[in-house]
Structure 1
């Protein structure tokens, strides 16, 4: 598994439009889904298999926020921006549910690089990140604007 200790940090000068990054994968285990939901999104369709059958999902599903939190961890492991991943706004959508047992990974592409006019040492990097399950289905689309740093 890669992380910032093994990948060189990337500065704005190292980035280009269309540049892609792929994360390692993570399996969304049932007990992890229930634990996250119990703490942060305690709705019946994330906690109880029986009751979830009568929900919109038809079965127990991971919280979208759990998918988002896992996506963030996978981004940290695969997108080594100097100074860390500091968000300055984002859009998020969940086109389909994440199920227990799904193996997800994140594929990211740089879609914009903007230099700051008022802060010459930094700028913003917009990244479209698709969280994809083992069947190649997109379960989340996350498009953050991230603070990027120029070399000193």
Structure 2
């Protein structure tokens, strides 16, 4: 198991592979972000997107799926997150793109109020298949400290 004490400021990781599927883009938009440029080729063609584009919130969900899979693969003792900071949608995500993530640990500290928990701040950047950054954020992570 990977605990707080196993992670250092400056640690970097590259992980994930998420193929963006047209039907998933539309299904997500229908349920959560039903704007025309997320639902219709014709409507999207009339916008700066030029074609059907994934919702930014869908892009965040795809990022989260890759983060969770990476945490499982590395048996991290993750305890959730109190939130994201500085979320930016840098470029559109389109059906047919394949996404991946890179992360860097920016800060680490033990919780003062909960001694069994460590807190990490990481920069997460999502890239498409052309290595173009499409999303970035600062992620705040709670992770278990090594048991005594």
Query: Same fold by TM (over 0.5)?
Result: yes
Query: What's the counterpart of residue 22 of structure 1?
Result: 14
Q: TM-score, normalised by structure 1?
A: 0.89
Deviation of 1:24 after TM superposition, in Å, equals 2.3
Gaps of 5+ in 2: none
Q: How many pairs are equivalent?
A: 143
Structure 1 runs (4+) greater than 4 angstroms displaced: none
Q: TM-score, normalised by structure 2?
A: 0.91
Deviation of 1:78 after TM superposition, in Å, equals 1.3
Query: What's the counterpart of residue 50 of structure 2?
Result: 58
Instruction: Report if aligned partners of 1:23, 1:77 keep a CA contact under 8 Å in 2.
Output: no
Matched, 1:89 2:83: yes
Query: What's the counterpart of residue 117 of structure 1?
Result: 112
Instruction: Report if aligned partners of 2:16, 2:67 keep a CA contact under 8 Å in 1.
Output: no
Instruction: Report if aligned partners of 2:41, 2:52 keep a CA contact under 8 Å in 1.
Output: yes
2:23 to 9, 27, 31: 31
Instruction: Encode CA deviations 1:23-71: one digit per residue, 9 max, x unaligned.
Output: 2201101111111111111110000001111123122110001110010
Q: Which whole-Å CA distance do the structure 2 matches of 1:118 and 1:34 have between them?
A: 43
Gaps of 5+ in 1: 1-8
Query: What's the counterpart of residue 4 of structure 1?
Result: none
Query: What's the counterpart of residue 37 of structure 2?
Result: 45
